[in-house]
Chains A and B, each alone.
Chain A
Amino acid sequence: MADRVSYRKLPGHRRGFLRGASVWLGPGHLLHVRSVRFREEYKRYQLQDIQAIAIARRPRFHISTRAFAIACVWLVAFAMLFQFPGATYGLWGVAIVLFCAWLYVSAAESCTCRIYTAVSRDELPSVYRTWVARRFLRALESEITAAQGGLDIAAGDVIETPDVGPREALSAAPVEPQGVPTAFATDDTASDYLLAATLLAVGLWRALALYHPLAWAQVVSNLLALAVLVTAIWVLVRHRQQKAPSKWLAIAAMVIIGLVYYVRLTVAGALAGARAAVEKKAIALDYSGGPISGYIEMGATLLLGLVGLGILLAGRARRQGPAI
């Protein structure tokens, strides 16, 4: 069976929340694995076809799932040691050191790695730190040399390199293949405008309700949030087979609205339960979540609404083309 091919992992692994990448060495070829959450895509490079590997220093501010896990551990430690001032100072110190280290590594010790063959020029996202790139090259160089033989050049010689990579890159800018949707390939629809409008409406209504409390503000707010969810579903259905940025906006809107309402209910329930236990009497549940929840909802929805407007305006400007 095909699965009998055994692969050895090469240094480097990009671990993102949705996307990941790694490079594996198989018999006579490299296997580049790109994962998009529940799907893996593979690309193979025969060792005898690899013309060059180029690594260029470049800042890469990537937050990996490991970094996120470290942040979560820090948060848990902070929550547990909140009562002890000495410990919290130490934790803040640790946080600052970790953040500075991440900043330094991202800015000064990061790179991009490209692999060239006669017909392709691809980036390997898994190799994005310089020390990983060094190990990656060391591991791969011997394998490629074994497949192709070595270059007969002495160190320090100046050589004129031939053109590497695909030929078309020399003569013309890359042509987007027909039929492949691009970020702004789709026309805006009524659903896109409605999504941006409802998001802005939720944000503005929240702002109004925060500064001028009204008895029925929560009801209107809930109805508007429901409208956002319905519109977001409409956007997702409308753009289901397209690569439209408003699709991501719809997903973000659904996540934000869901989180705000779920967290609000959970926190309100927990607080009411705790108060009822302390005071030993029934406490009415306050579903509004208080001003903090209101500020979060206002900020998030206004931000998303503005992003939606930006997407619509950018799409329109792009379709109209440059002014002559």
Chain B
Amino acid sequence: MPLPELTAATGDWSRCTLCGSENRVRVFPAAFQSATPVHVEARLEGEAACFDHPGKRAVAACRQCGRFVCQLCSVEFGSEIWCPSCVASRAGSAAQANLETSRTLHDSIALIVPLLSLVIWPFTVITGPGAVVYSMVKWRAPLSLVRRNRWRFVAAILTGLSMVAGWLLLIVYGLVRARARAG
């Protein structure tokens, strides 16, 4: 997308010269770097070939498995070169480069479901013990990438246990009262 002609950063909001809207734009040096297309050179007689593309000249060896890679196949990890299959299998330090794109938040499920069930409280007979069991089963499941503690699991277990205790008290109270009536 083309940005309009900009006045270099003077601090705050400025008006777009095209539409008049108030904008604040910070442009970084990456915007001025022209993208250089990858040229994969054909292999000449006697030259090393790429593992996946035998007709292409190898430019590096994979740091993990040692396979030769062409310009197209080389993946940069910091200062190292990796081949696509090592990246895909997350071998060695490739595992450090977290490639996950989504995660399920089991701790939130464990906490929110029993709390929501309070709206229709008879459901707590299922969700209370369910929250305790679910929290214990999923205790070691990966949490959010950015939230690191398990307080939601602890809260879910406490909530579930208090629901179970409430139901037990209700049942005991009902039995005692029924017996008192009968007696």
Which residues of the other chain, B, contact A24 by a CB distance below 8 angstroms? Answer: 146
Q: Is the CB of B28 within 8 A of A50?
A: yes
Our pick among A43, A155, A161, A163 for the contact of B101 (Cβ within 8 Å) is A43
| Complex-state Cα separation, A159 to B29, whole angstroms | 13
User: Which B45-101 residues sit within 8 Å CB-CB of chain A?
Assistant: 95-96, 98, 100-101
- Which of B19-27, B125-133, B157-165, B168-176 is the contact stretch? B19-27
Is residue B109 contacting chain A, with contact meaning CB distance below 8 A?
Answer: yes
Residues of B within 8 A of A262 (CB): 119-120
B151 at the interface (CB under 8 A from A): no
Q: Which residues of B contact A155 (CB under 8 A)?
A: 8-10
B144 touches A161 (CB 8 A): no
Contact assessment for B2 and A170 in the assembled complex, using a CB-CB cutoff below 8 Å = yes
What 0/1 pattern do residues 132 to 158 of A give for CB contact below 8 A with B? 010001000100110011110111111
Set of chain A residues within 8 Å of B101, measured between Cβ atoms: 41-43
Q: Which single residue of chain A is at the shortest CB-CB distance from B90?
A: A2
**Cross-chain contact of B105 among A5, A7, A38, A145 (Cβ < 8 A):** A38
Residue of B27, B100, B108 touching A2 (CB-CB under 8 A):
B100
Among candidates A35, A153, A157, A165, residue contacting B1 with C-beta atoms closer than 8 Å: A165
Chain B residues 140 to 154 lying within 8 A of chain A, measured CB to CB, are: 142-146, 148
A163 to B27, CA, bound (A): 11
**Pairwise interchain contact A163-B2, C-beta atoms closer than 8 A:** yes
Min CB distance B135 to A, Å, is 14
Tell me, in angstroms, the Cα distance from A37 to B144 when the chains sit together: 12
Q: Would you call the interface of chain A mostly helix, strand, loop, or mixed?
A: mixed
Q: Give Cα distance in the complex from A144 to B30, angstroms.
A: 10
Does A54 belong to the interface (CB within 8 Å)? yes
Q: Within the assembled complex, what's the spacing in Å between the Cα atoms of A52 and B32?
A: 10
B103 adjacent to chain A (CB < 8 Å): yes
Number of interface residues of A (CB under 8 A): 59
The answer to whether B30 touches A55, judged by C-beta atoms less than 8 angstroms apart, is: no
Let me know if A159 and B31 touch, CB within 8 A: no
Would you give the shortest CB distance from A144 to chain B, in whole angstroms? 5
Point out the residues of chain B lying under 8 angstroms from A78, CB to CB: none
A286 within 8 A of B: no
What residues of chain A lie closer than 8 Å to B148, measured between beta carbons?
3
Given the interface pairs A2-B98, A148-B30, A163-B1, the reply to whether A54 lies near B25 with Cβ below 8 Å is: yes
Q: How many angstroms between the C-alpha atoms of A124 and B78 in the bound complex?
A: 26
Task: From the candidates B21, B100, B143, name the one contacting A42 in the complex (CB within 8 A).
Answer: B100
Contacts A51-B30, A57-B23, A164-B3; A38 near B108 (Cβ below 8 A): yes
- A57–B21 Cα distance when bound, in Å, is 7
**Closest approach, in angstroms, between the C-beta of B88 and any C-beta of chain A?**
15
Query: Within the assembled complex, what's the spacing in Å between the Cα atoms of A52 and B2?
Result: 11
With a CB–CB cut-off of 8 A, which chain A residues contact B139? none
Give which listed residue, B22, B102, B109, contacts A56 with CB less than 8 A.
Answer: B22
Shortest Cβ gap from A233 to chain B (Å):
17
- Closest residue of chain B to A151, judged by CB? B29
Residues of chain A contacted by B25 (CB below 8 angstroms): 52-55
CA of A161 to CA of B4 in the docked complex: distance in angstroms? 7
Measured CB to CB, the closest approach of chain A to B86, in angstroms, equals 16
Any A CB within 8 A of the CB of B35? yes
Report the minimal beta-carbon distance from B24 to chain A, rounded to whole angstroms: 4
Say whether B27 contacts A151, CB under 8 Å.
yes
Q: With A38-B104, A40-B105 known to touch, is A2 a contact of B96 (CB < 8 Å)? A: yes
In the complex, are the beta carbons of B102 and A42 less than 8 A apart? yes
User: Is A322 located at the chain interface by the 8 A CB criterion?
Assistant: no
Q: Say whether B8 contacts A50, CB under 8 Å.
A: no
**Contact for B27 among A7, A149, A161, CB less than 8 A:** A161
Does A19 lie at the interface of the complex (its beta carbon under 8 Å from any beta carbon of B)?
Answer: no
Contact residues of B with A, CB < 8 Å? Answer: 1-10, 13, 21-32, 35, 95-96, 98, 100-105, 108-109, 112, 119-120, 142-146, 148
16 of the cross-chain contacts (CB-CB < 8 Å) are A2-B98, A4-B96, A7-B146, A37-B108, A40-B103, A51-B30, A53-B25, A56-B23, A56-B24, A148-B28, A151-B28, A158-B5, A158-B8, A159-B6, A163-B3, A164-B27
